[in-house]
Amino acid sequence: MTVQDDLTPEEKAAFEKLTYSQAPPTALEDRVVAALQNEGLVKKTKSMNQYLKYAVGIAASVALFFAGNYMGRQTSASIEIDPLYGYMMILKEDAKFKPGDPMEMFQEYAAWMEGLFEKGVQITGQELKDNAWEVSAAGTKTIGSEADSRVTGYFIIQANTEDQALAVVRDNPHIKYGGTIELKPYMNR
Amino acid sequence: MLSDRKLVNDFLNTRSESAFRKLYQDKTPHLYQMALRLTSFDAFEAEELVQQMWILAVRKLEGFAWKSTLKTWLTGILINLNRDEIRKEMAKKKAVSQVEMTEVRQVSPATGYDLEQALSSIAIGYRKVIILHDIEGYQHKEIAALLGVSEGTSKSQLFQARKALRQHLTSQKQP
């Protein structure tokens, strides 16, 4: 028997079959980023996407906070609410959206929400995740966080008139930061 | 897919977390697998190795002259860090792996798992040269540069490494 230097075709095939199937754990990425930030090698800044999520997250959490605080309380200037119609505010963000200082945004959203409850406008909302699916006869398309324009949250408001609902939308801080809001009436059935 | 230069420049121009994450996500899967092989599939050690590699790489990235590919450069850092780690361990254990000089025959590993197992069992110096040459496809000239040895040493190491690997696979097959 001899010892050969070259790989046999069988040995070559065996090496080629070795795969790279074991993906790095997802937590490793965060650990590496944190280590680099601690060393001052990567800026401790949130990515734009994180800011976008943060902005709508603020709105949703403020909404829930005030909803809890104001539940069952009499407001000084209650409005008539049309029982037939509600309005959906659809918050959209694209490259023009530039979030400001998080603390300042929080205060602005809080003031906006407080103003609504003081007026007696009923509101609730949720932040929407980045990922989405667009389903059509052509198939199912995955829409990720890199999409040019994203729907990042919604609010449902109860108001008496369309003008009241539009006034609520115009005062929303989302507009000030470059976002857009679509207002859609719907009928309560 | 973004080019390596764009990934690096985007990061160096901004030092932002998002730019780094893109660079990390592009390069780490391959390097992590190599780290696993270098550490005999010790996930903890492999993660440590990858983390240290990125810290060192980001420190030196501005000085990277693109004389090799980014992958080769990162591989070099990974291998050097692994060598330093092994030196520390060797100093502690004073254990040296010796390959018995017995005759061996070529064998065909039944599965990739057998081959990975055999690879994990041979001495780290031999393992490195097999990973680089037979799995990653580097030439002896590149391996010599990565390992800081001569081309002749790389060739003889590969010869001995293959012999050790075959010997291990042979012993696994014997009842």
Q: pLDDT at position A109, please?
A: 80
Asked if A157 contacts A123 with a C-beta cutoff of 8 angstroms, the reply is yes
Number of neighbours of residue B172 by Cβ within 10 angstroms: 14
Q: Provide the chain A residues 35-54 that lie in CB contact (below 8 A) with chain B.
A: 35-37, 39, 41-49
pLDDT in tens, B58-116: 999 999 999 899 999 999 999 999 888 877 777 666 544 444 434 444 445 556 667 88
Encode A45-68: b = buried (16+ Cβ within 10 Å), e = exposed: ebebeebbbbbbbbbbebbeebee
Q: State chain B's mean pLDDT as an integer.
A: 83
Mean pLDDT in residue range B22-42: 90
Nearest Cα to A183, choosing from A149, A163, A120? A163
CB contact under 8 Å between A3 and B47, yes or no, is no
CB contact under 8 Å between B33 and A33, yes or no, is no
Q: pLDDT at position B112, please?
A: 65
Q: Between B53 and A121, whose confidence is greater?
A: B53
Q: Is some CB atom of chain A closer than 8 A to the CB atom of B24?
A: yes
Query: ipTM of this model?
Result: 0.77
| pTM attached to this predicted model | 0.54
